[in-house]
Amino acid sequence: MEWYTCLDEYEKLVIRMTTPRVVIDNAVCPTATLVKVDSARRDGILLDAVQVLADQNLSIKKAYVSSDGQWFMDVFHVTDLNGKKLTDESVISYIEQSLEPSFHDRSQEFNGLTVLELTGTDRVGLLSEVFAVLADLQCDVVDAKLWTHNGRIASLIFVRDCNSWSPINDSQQIDRIQARLRNILRGDNHVRSVRTSVSSDVFHTDRRLHQMMFADRDYERKPVLQCSGHSAVMVNVQNCAERGYSVVNVQCKDRAKLLFDAVCTLTDMQYVVFHATINTAGDKAYMEFYIRHTDGIPISSEAEKQRVIQCLRAAVERRASNGVRLELCIPDRQGLLAYVTRTFRENGLNVTRTEISTTRDTALNIFYVTDAIGNVADPDIIESVRRKIGLGNLKVKELPLMYPGKGEGEEQAVGVGGAVLLSLGSLVRRNLYNLGLIKSCS
The predicted model gives 75-97 an average pLDDT of 91
Catalogue all structural domains in the chain, each as residue range(s) with its CATH number: 1-99 (3.30.70.260), 115-201+322-397 (3.30.70.260), 234-320 (3.30.70.260)
A 10 A CB-CB count for 51 gives 22
pTM: 0.83
Beta strands in 49-134 (DSSP E): 59-66, 71-79, 114-121
- Indicate if the pLDDT at residue 56 is higher than 80: yes
Tell me the pLDDT of the chain averaged across its residues.
82
Return d(Cα 353, Cα 48) in angstroms, integer.
25
Q: Are 24 and 70 in contact (CB under 8 A)?
A: no
- Indicate if the pLDDT at residue 294 is higher than 60: yes
The gap between the terminal CA atoms of the chain, to the nearest Å, is 51
pLDDT computed for residue 39 by the predictor: 80
Helices 126-136/336-346 angle, 10° precision: 150
pLDDT computed for residue 183 by the predictor: 87
pLDDT computed for residue 417 by the predictor: 35
- Indicate if the pLDDT at residue 240 is higher than 60: yes
Considering 26-40, 179-193, 298-312, the range whose residues carry the highest mean pLDDT is: 298-312
pLDDT computed for residue 7 by the predictor: 53
The predicted model gives 261-287 an average pLDDT of 95
pLDDT computed for residue 110 by the predictor: 66
Tens digit of each residue's pLDDT (9 = 90 or more) over 381-402: 999 999 999 999 999 986 444 4
Q: Name which of 243, 235, 258 is nearest 291 in CA terms.
A: 243
Return d(Cα 284, Cα 266) in angstroms, integer.
21
Tens digit of each residue's pLDDT (9 = 90 or more) over 422-440: 334 444 444 544 445 454 4
Helices 89-98/45-55 angle, 10° precision: 160
pLDDT computed for residue 182 by the predictor: 87
Least confident of 77-91, 129-143, 419-433: 419-433
- DSSP secondary structure letters along 183-247: HHTTT---GGGEEEEE--S---HHHHHHHHHHHTTGGGSPPSS--TT----EEEEEEETTTTEEE
Model confidence at 8, pLDDT cuts 50, 70, 90, reads low
pLDDT computed for residue 323 by the predictor: 87
By the 10 Å C-beta count (0-12 exposed, 13-18 middle, 19+ buried), 372 is classed as middle
- Indicate if the pLDDT at residue 404 is higher than 50: no
- Indicate if the pLDDT at residue 144 is higher than 90: yes
Model confidence at 108, pLDDT cuts 50, 70, 90, reads low
Q: Name which of 105, 85, 41, 103 is nearest 272 in CA terms.
A: 41
Helices 258-268/45-55 angle, 10° precision: 150
pLDDT computed for residue 402 by the predictor: 44
Look at the alpha carbons of 133, 135, 141, 147 in this order and tell me if their dihedral is positive or negative: positive
pLDDT computed for residue 32 by the predictor: 94
- Indicate if the pLDDT at residue 134 is higher than 80: yes
Tell me how far CA of residue 337 lies from CA of 82, 340, 371, in angstroms: 30, 5, 19
A 10 A CB-CB count for 109 gives 14
- Indicate if the pLDDT at residue 411 is higher than 90: no
The predicted model gives 218-247 an average pLDDT of 81
- Indicate if the pLDDT at residue 17 is higher than 80: no
- Indicate if the pLDDT at residue 279 is higher than 80: yes
Return d(Cα 146, Cα 353) in angstroms, integer.
5
- Indicate if the pLDDT at residue 64 is higher than 50: yes
